[in-house]
Each structure stands twice: as structure tokens, then as C-alpha cells.
Amino acid sequence: MPLTTEQIEQAGSVVAGAATLRAAAASLRQQFAGMQASVVDAMDMRDETPALRVGERSVYLASNDGHCWSVTANPAYANAFILAES
């Protein structure tokens, strides 16, 4: 499902308003049917560029080819959110 700029901003609002990243991930899964959401340690994403930052929280977009996951800057290929907090 290609994401629009508005949807990415909506995801940022969810992440900003959630008490925890795990709560944000659960909300994202509910609000974006077909998208996955995971929480990882910020160290795991140290060499990646987030799609957006919300305070100390980062939102990355990821895609998968059925076997391997990769971070993507292209919302048209994204089928997952990866969340991390510094």
C-alpha cells in the first residue's frame, strides 16, 4: 500500500501522542490496514535515515520482498513502520 505524505504525517502524530512506542506500534497496525509496525532499539537503526522524527522518536519505512526486509525512503514501497527511540 503506497503511503501518502498525509498518512506519514498521521503516523507521526500517532507516534508523538502515544505513551510508549509499543502503544504507537499497536495503534499504527490498527489505523493502517496491511501495514506492519515494529519497535527496535535505536542502535539497530544507527546507519539508517528516518522518514520522520518526532522528538526523540524516529519513524522508518520498510519494505519486504517476501523474504528480506529493507529500510526504504520511498513510501510507494513501504509496507511497514519501524519505530525507535533515542
Give residue 75's pLDDT.
95
Give residue 13's pLDDT.
97
Whole-number CA gyration radius for the chain: 12
Give residue 65's pLDDT.
80
Domain count, the chain: 1
Give residue 2's pLDDT.
76
Whether the CB-CB separation of 58 and 83 falls below 8 Å is answered with: yes
Residue range of the domain that includes 67: 5-85
Give strand pairing partners of 80.
36, 62
Q: Please count the other Cβ atoms lying within 10 Å of the Cβ belonging to residue 31.
A: 13
- Per-residue pLDDT 10s for the chain (86 aa) are 679 999 999 999 999 999 999 999 999 999 999 899 999 999 999 999 999 999 999 999 999 888 899 999 999 999 999 999 99
Taking the model in full, what pTM does it have? 0.93
Give residue 66's pLDDT.
80
